[in-house]
Amino acid sequence: MAPAVADPPYPGSMARQMVLERMSVVVVTSRSELSDISGSTPIGKVEPADEDGGSAAPLSPDGYFLTADHVLAQMNGRNVFVIFHRRGGLVQSKARVVWRSKSSDLALLHVPENTPYYYRWTSPNQLLPEGTPLIHGGISTGMRSAVGKLSTAIQPDGWLTGSTRFKIDIPLEPGDSGGPIVDGAGRLIGVNSAVEFLVPLETAFFVDSEGNRPNIRKIDDLIKRDRARNGL
């Protein structure tokens, strides 16, 4: 059996700073540009007036982002933008869809920009046990994410043929879809997919939020092949 993470760290100021620097917005819009978004606007307050969107997690220094597939559900005939932090302020860039999977609710985007703030994954060879402390980096709750924990364990990637769904105990809000779920060392666990509620009679009770973790080797391979195909 693969080893579990030994004494996983509790998310502190370092992990929170990493989340703030990497907070990213996906905007699906009929507009050809987002000229009304300034380079100094706090990213948590970016609220395009038209359209759809969500959050994303930057994966590399050369513009690859992971998000939830359902964030792109209404993209036909529209443009997809990613807004992200770079030294000096916010950057907006039109995105290209590299890969989508409706069954796993994951999508990979690329923008032709340098993305110096990006996540490294938790080890694909370790078990992430139930109770692992974490925070969330979505655009709705990322600036004030309470510390939560994994409600279900995540098996090592070597045991997976595709993505795996897991649950966390942090209540999330609209706009958080596709947002990063991050451990106490600021490493990426997966991205948010949905929030679950129980609805007995007329009262809704929060149960868990659901996240997805891809097979990391598969995502790395998709990125490598996309770089080669597009001369990046």
Query: Residue 33's pLDDT is what?
Result: 82
Non-local CB neighbours of 141 within 8 Å, separated by 6+ positions: 170, 172, 173, 176, 179
CATH dotted code for 22-118: 2.40.10.10
Across the chain, which has 232 residues, the per-10-residue mean pLDDT values are 68 91 93 68 56 91 96 92 88 95 93 96 91 92 85 78 84 88 95 65 63 92 95 82
Query: Residue 198's pLDDT is what?
Result: 46
Query: Residue 39's pLDDT is what?
Result: 56
Output DSSP code: residue 50: S
- Model confidence pLDDT, tens digit, residues 176-193: 899 999 999 999 999 998
Smallest CA-to-CA distance from 47 within 66, 63, 29, 62 is with 29
Query: Residue 155's pLDDT is what?
Result: 86
Query: Residue 161's pLDDT is what?
Result: 61
CA distance 46 to 36: 10
Domain boundaries, the chain: 22-118, 120-218
Query: Residue 35's pLDDT is what?
Result: 67
Domains 22-118 and 120-218 are alike in CATH topology: yes
Asked if the 120-218 domain carries CATH number 2.40.10.10, the reply is: yes
Query: Residue 125's pLDDT is what?
Result: 87
Query: Residue 64's pLDDT is what?
Result: 98
Q: Look up residue 14 and give its amino acid.
A: M
Residue 1's Cβ-count burial label (10 Å; 0-12, 13-18, 19+) is exposed
